[in-house]
Amino acid sequence: MEYYPKEYQDWLFQALHMSPGDEADPEFLEPLYYLNRQWVKTDDDAPMNYDGEDALMRAYTCYYMTINMPKLWFILDRVPILSFPANQPLRIAELGCGPGTFLWSFLFYLQAKRPELLKQEIHLVGIDRSATALKYAEKMAAVLRKQKVFSKVTFEFVEADWKSKISSPADLLIFGNVLNEGLGIEVDWKQVAADRVAIIEPGTKKGFQPLLPVRSQLVASGKHIQFPCPQETTPCPMTQDNWCHFSINRFQLSFIQRISNRAKRLNSRHNFSGFLFTSEPEVSAKNDWRVLSKLRKANRSGIRWICSGCQLKEAILSRKSRSETNRIFLNADWGDRLTITRGSDETSQCFDGRLRPTDKVLSKSF
- How do the pLDDT tens digits run along the chain, 366 residues long? 678 999 999 999 999 999 999 998 888 888 888 877 776 665 544 555 555 589 999 999 999 999 999 999 999 999 877 888 888 899 999 999 999 999 999 999 999 999 999 999 999 999 999 999 999 999 999 999 999 999 999 999 999 988 889 998 999 999 998 887 765 567 889 999 999 999 999 999 988 999 999 999 999 999 999 999 998 877 898 877 889 999 999 999 999 999 998 877 788 999 999 999 999 887 767 889 999 999 999 988 999 999 999 899 999 999 999 999 999 999 999 999 999 988 765 444 577 889 999 999 999 865
Q: Please indicate, yes or no, if residue 1 is contained in any of the structural domains.
A: no
CA dihedral (185, 190, 191, 195) positive or negative: positive
182 and 66 fall within a common domain: yes
| The pLDDT of residue 50 | 54
CB-based contacts of 145, cutoff 8 Å, min separation 6: 155
Q: Please indicate, yes or no, if residue 283 is contained in any of the structural domains.
A: no
Query: Which CATH number fits the domain that encloses residue 263?
Result: 3.40.50.150
Q: Please indicate, yes or no, if residue 210 is contained in any of the structural domains.
A: yes
274 and 292 fall within a common domain: no
Point out the domain boundary residue: 248, 278, 308: 278
300 and 221 fall within a common domain: no
| The pLDDT of residue 366 | 57
Q: Please indicate, yes or no, if residue 224 is contained in any of the structural domains.
A: yes
Q: Please indicate, yes or no, if residue 3 is contained in any of the structural domains.
A: no
User: What is the domain range of residue 145?
Assistant: 8-278
241 and 313 fall within a common domain: no
* Strands 360-364 and 337-341, sheet pairing: antiparallel
335 and 208 fall within a common domain: no
150 and 274 fall within a common domain: yes
257 and 319 fall within a common domain: no
Q: Domains in the chain: how many in total?
A: 2
Q: Please indicate, yes or no, if residue 2 is contained in any of the structural domains.
A: no
Query: Which CATH number fits the domain that encloses residue 323?
Result: 2.40.50
Beta bridge partners of 117: none
Q: Which residues of 101-111 are buried (b: 16+ CB within 10 A; e: fewer)?
A: bbbbbbbbbbe
65 and 106 fall within a common domain: yes
- Asked if 338 contacts 78 with a C-beta cutoff of 8 angstroms, the reply is no
Q: Please indicate, yes or no, if residue 64 is contained in any of the structural domains.
A: yes
| The pLDDT of residue 57 | 93
Point out the domain boundary residue: 278, 305, 331: 278
213 and 332 fall within a common domain: no
39 and 160 fall within a common domain: yes
| The pLDDT of residue 118 | 96
CA angle 277, 278, 280 (to 5 degrees): 140
Question: Half-sphere exposure of residue 147, counting CA atoms within 13 Å on the CB side?
Answer: 17
Distance CA 123, CA 76 (A): 19
13 and 112 fall within a common domain: yes
Point out the domain boundary residue: 278, 299, 323: 278
**Of 257, 270, 293, 331, which is closest to residue 23 (Cα–Cα)?**
257
267 and 326 fall within a common domain: no
Q: Please indicate, yes or no, if residue 72 is contained in any of the structural domains.
A: yes
